[in-house]
Structure 1
């Protein structure tokens, strides 16, 4: 069982992992791109991620969720990872972090 502090630390580690996964079409990581809608960590070390793609026809629709799951699962204390894909609400450029918008020249 993880303590509240350990759950918070694990959540931060998961965010760091997500910041190292890039969308192949847009040179920004999926976290700053705004593709991660929700992230939950349980006391048992289970991680649930709700995410979207830039479009339903995204060429990495099959592989990106698997990559997210595998990379998060590689963290030591993670016991299970579930990645849920949603298109509600649909992704748009307003969901990007300020840093991502600056990097891409979107103001």
Structure 2
């Protein structure tokens, strides 16, 4: 398995606290690259630019990614284009959100 794929798998542990779903399933991760020196670069977005928990999410992304074998350094780049929309979520994220809404009613 490529290091980029291992990072993506590890990032499934990072939950967006406001939504309660992992950031990979939400479609917040746009790109993951790792160079030959072990520096990982993660391009991601948030559901809204003014997310009050942005620092917490980015810190969790860095922490989890840094634990991946072969990764020596992690850089997270927050981007706002293309803008995140619910269409970026996968079916699993949609189902989790639906289940949470059902439990709340």
Which deviations, in whole Å up to 9, do the C-alpha atoms of 1:10-53 show, x marking residues without a partner? 11210121100000011110001000011112122211100001
Structure 2 residue ranges without an equivalent (≥5): 100-105
Matching of residue 27 in structure 1 with residue 59 in structure 2: no
Distance, in Å, in 2 between the alignment partners of 1:63 and 1:19 is 15
Q: Which has more helix, going by share of residues?
A: 2
- The unaligned stretches of length 5 or more in structure 1 are 1-7
Q: Distance in 2 between matches of 1:103 and 1:63?
A: 22
Aligned residues: 99
| 1:46 aligned residue | 39
- Bigger proportion of residues as strand: 2
- Greater length-normalized contact order (CA 8 Å, ≥ 6 residues apart): 2
User: Counterpart in 2 of 1:5?
Assistant: none
What does residue 56 of structure 2 align with? 63
Structure-1 residue corresponding to 2:69: 76
Q: What is the root-mean-square deviation in Å for CA atoms of aligned residues?
A: 1.6
